[in-house]
Structure 1
Amino acid sequence: MLSILDNSLRVVNFAFLVIVLGLVGSLIATQSGGNPRVNFCIFTATFGIVFDSFYAVLANLFSAFAWPIILVTWDFLNFVFTFSAATALAVGIRTHSCTNQLYLDSNSITQGSTDRCRKSQAVVAFLYFSFFIFLTKLVLSLINVFSAGAFGSGSTRRATVGVPTISQV
């Protein structure tokens, strides 16, 4: 079973990633020609939803899926992918004004459309929000690995002092 903080971060991140998925899907539906940066953004959103949100459901239902080392691995991959996708798209759109027609016409992602420009800026923002959530979850997962072990169950044994109980005799 995952912690309440971990589950709440996953719910917020799921909302962000669904928004990204919708916006990027709209960008892909209206594009002429393929753009690898936009395609990587949709891969990142899908990967994040599958291996963060859906995997969390399995980890909450079955403790065999909640190994700390597996959770750290998924959190690290999501952390890297969201940072890479957000940065690649931000570099691609170069964050100019969406009302500058000269910029819009010369950009391969905006393709002359103010609507596509605003959608790509929103995708960058939501991917960075998701990136910071994955960063927080990665730190929490690493703390869990160091405290419970790579394959730990999350329960720690404390040293007992004083009078022994009957089970210790």
Structure 2
Amino acid sequence: MVSRSLNLILRGTEFVFVLIIMSLIGNVIAMAFAGNPALINYDMFVAAFAMLSLFYLIFIAFNDSFMGHPIFPVILDLLNVIFLFCAAVAMAAELHVHSCSNDTYTLHNHLTNGANDRAGRCREEQAATAFLWFTWALWTVSLVFSFLDARGGGVNLRGPLRRGGGRPAMSQV
């Protein structure tokens, strides 16, 4: 069992980081004059999904009786780890990490082009990428803690164990 205070600190830090990601991506969306690439919309989906997950996960961190089943936090943490990893890798791959002062780069990159302030949009996307990676690392730790809590809470994640070499005893036949 992971201590409640450690779990709350971890979830609170995740909440702050997801809020920062949501605000950065929201500002990128708001400053666009010709629509946004699908990756920007996916990043906002990831932030919204993580925020909705955190409302439930922070609530059950305070009171375990509302959990329902101990596997629910593991599933939510696993989905968030996968979504955040995909968003972080895609943003890093599409941005190509050039200087945001380079007008040629910001003009020809489909993520940075699309706003009047291309350098500002570029910097916000780079900051969002960094926070996506930090949040992914935090959520990976949360996944490990949720998995350990689920195993300690009586959830059999391996299936039934057979004793005696896998053959039924005569009394079971």
Q: One fold, TM greater than 0.5?
A: yes
Considering only aligned residues, what root-mean-square deviation do their CA atoms show, in Å? 1.9
CA distance in structure 1 between the aligned counterparts of 2:104 and 2:58, rounded to whole angstroms = 47
The equivalent residue for 1:141 is 146
After superposition, the Cα gap between the structure-2 partners of 1:67 and 1:3, relative to the gap in structure 1 and judged at 3 Å, is: farther
Q: Distance in 2 between matches of 1:135 and 1:62?
A: 21
Q: Name structure 2 gaps, 5 residues minimum.
A: 157-173
Number of equivalences? 150
Q: Which residue of 2 aligns with 1:13?
A: 14
C-alpha displacement of 1:7: 1.1
Cα shift readout 1:129-163 (whole Å, capped 9, x = no counterpart): 10000000011111122222228xxxxxxxxxxxx
Q: 2:92–2:129: 8 Å Cα contact kept in structure 1?
A: yes
Query: Offset of 1:92 from its aligned partner?
Result: 1.3
Q: How does 1:38-77 map to 2 (within 5 A)?
A: 38-52=40-54, 54-59=55-60, 60-61=62-63, 63-65=65-67, 67-77=69-79
Aligned to 1:126: 131
User: What TM-score, normalized by structure 1, do the two folds share?
Assistant: 0.82
2:106 to 90, 93, 104: 104
Report if aligned partners of 1:7, 1:56 keep a CA contact under 8 Å in 2.
Answer: no
What TM-score do the two structures reach when normalised by structure 2? 0.81
State the match for 1:79 in structure 2.
81
Could you tell me which amino acid in structure 2 is paired with residue 85 of structure 1? A
Q: What's the offset of the Cα at 1:66?
A: 5.8
- Matched to 1:5, the amino acid is L
State the alpha-carbon separation in 2 of the partners of residues 103 and 149 from structure 1.
54
Structure 1 unaligned residues grouped into runs of 5+: 152-169
What is aligned with 1:155? none
Identity %: 34
Deviates more, 1:58-67 or 1:36-45: 58-67
